[in-house]
Amino acid sequence: MSRITNLGLLGIALALPACASFPDAAGGGRVVRVADLKAETPRSWSYDLGDPAFTAFLDRADLGSLDVKAALARAAASDAAVRVARGGRLPAIDATAGWQDSLAGPDRQARGVDTGVSLSWTPDLSGAVSSAVNAARADARAASHDVDAARAVLAAELARNWLALVAADDRLIRISRRQTMEREGLSLAHRRIAAGYATREAVLVRETALARLADERLSVENDREAIRLRLLALAGLGPVSGFDAPRGLQALLPYAPATVPLDQLDARPDVRAAAERLAAADSRRLGEIRSARPRIVLSLGGQGGNTSLSRFLSNPGFALVPGVRLEGAVFDGGRSRARADRAAAETAEAEALYLKAGVAAHRGLATALAALLSTRDRQAPAAAAVSHARERLQLVTAQFDHGTASRLDQIDAERSLVEAEEADAEVRRAWIAAGIEIHAALTGG
CA distance 237 to 64: 7
Torsion of CA 366, 367, 372, 375, to 10 degrees: 140
Model confidence, pTM: 0.83
DSSP secondary structure string, 298-318? EEEEEEEEESSHHHHHH----
Report in angstroms the alpha-carbon separations of 171 from 162, 165, 213, 439: 14, 10, 11, 26
Q: What is the pLDDT, as a whole number, of residue 312?
A: 60
Torsion sign over Cα 282, 286, 291, 296 = negative
Looking at residue 309, its pLDDT comes to 59
Which residue pairs from 248-251 have beta carbons closer than 8 angstroms and sit at least 24 positions apart in sequence?
Answer: 248/166, 248/169, 248/170, 249/166, 249/167, 249/169, 249/170, 249/425, 249/428, 249/429, 249/432, 250/425, 250/428, 251/50, 251/51
CA pair distance 363, 137, nearest whole angstrom? 30
The span from the CA of 98 to the CA of 100, in Å, is 7
* Residue 213 structural domain: 3-443
Q: Tell me phi and psi for residue 95, to 5 degrees.
A: -135, 145
Q: Cα-flanking dihedrals φ and ψ of residue 302, to 5°? A: -135, 135
Per the DSSP assignment, residues forming a β-bridge with 327 are 295
Q: Looking at residue 432, what is its pLDDT?
A: 93
Could you report the per-residue pLDDT of 219-268, keeping only the tens digit for each?
Answer: 999 999 999 999 999 988 888 888 888 888 888 888 877 777 777 888 89
Q: Are 65 and 39 in contact (CB under 8 A)?
A: no
In order of 34, 233, 246, the CA distances from 240 in angstroms are: 21, 11, 17
Which residues lie closer than 8 Å to 401 by C-beta, 6 or more apart?
none
pLDDT digits (tens, 9 = 90+) for 51-64: 999 999 999 999 88
- Counting as low any pLDDT under 70, the low residues of the chain are 1-30, 99-111, 113, 304-318
State the Cα–Cα distance between residues 239 and 277, nearest whole angstrom. Answer: 37
The CA radius of gyration of the chain, in Å to the nearest whole number, is: 38
Domain count, the chain: 1
Residue 306 pLDDT:
65
Three-state DSSP class for residue 403:
coil
CATH of residue 130's domain is: 1.20.1600.10
